[in-house]
Amino acid sequence: MSEPGPEARRPLKTRSTAWARWLARRVAQTRITPNQISLASIGFALIGGLLLLRPDWPVALIFAAICTQLRLLCNLLDGMVAVEGDKGTPTGALYNEIPDRLADSLLLIGAGYGLGLPWLGWLAALLAALTAYVRALGGSLGLEQDFRGPQAKPHRMALLTVGCVLAAMESNWNGTHYSLAASLLLIAIGTTWTIVRRTRAIAAELEDRG
């Protein structure tokens, strides 16, 4: 990952925690590069997406939740190792964005197919990509990139993780997966509202500038 400006970096409270700083320092001392960490997030998402194809297996849902969080950990560490560890590269911005879009899609589409609702998984994945597009569009117009929610990437992955855990308990109890379906639907609805909020904010800033 290249060294982004403050306006292009997602504000994360986790980044300032002691454990995150410690882990980033340890990783920075190895030969692991930020770009490799970014690519690893795709691997975790792929495993998670495949596990989500079997929501009738509670253990698969638990491991899918773990993979989702490991994907987020990679997204946290790649930037920290690049910036705080001073290991950024000229192509880092590409590695920072493209793997995120693939990882989102792998998890959300996998959940949709596992639930027998492929349209919902594809819809959630498309909307997730649009949130990033709108954010980047604002940046291309010279505005500060807008990371607001209610369903920015960390929020989507948190909701998916909770849905997986609840669905694992639900599946073990009565064989249904309504919790996961509800989380995917909420992701789609919340992401739609996020797109609207970001677009309106960009329009307001452009109006003020004009």
Q: What percent of the chain has pLDDT over 90?
A: 61
Across residues 19-43, what is the average pLDDT?
90
Range of the domain at 192: 6-209
The answer to whether position 192 is within a domain reads yes
Query: Residue 116: inside a domain, yes or no?
Result: yes
- Tell me whether residue 151 is in a domain: yes
- 155 in a structural domain: yes
Length of the chain: 210
Question: Is residue 19 assigned to a domain?
Answer: yes
Q: Does any domain span residue 1?
A: no
pLDDT in tens, 59-104: 999 999 999 999 999 998 988 888 877 787 888 888 888 999 999 9
| Domains contained in the chain, number | 1
**In the prediction, which pLDDT does 3 show?**
42
CB atoms within 10 A of CB 151: 26
Q: How confident is the model at residue 14 (pLDDT cuts 50, 70, 90)?
A: confident
CA 166 – CA 15 distance, rounded (Å): 27
pTM greater than 0.85: yes
What pLDDT shows up at residue 178?
Answer: 94
Output the CA torsion sign for 100, 101, 104, 106: negative
Predicted pLDDT at 9: 62
We report the CATH number of the domain holding residue 153 as 1.20.120.1760
Task: Transcribe 69-138 into DSSP letters.
Answer: HHHHHHHHHHHHHHHTTT---TTHHHHHHHHHHHHHHHHHHHHHHHTT-HHHHHHHHHHHHHHHHHHHHH
Q: Is residue 111 situated within a structural domain? A: yes
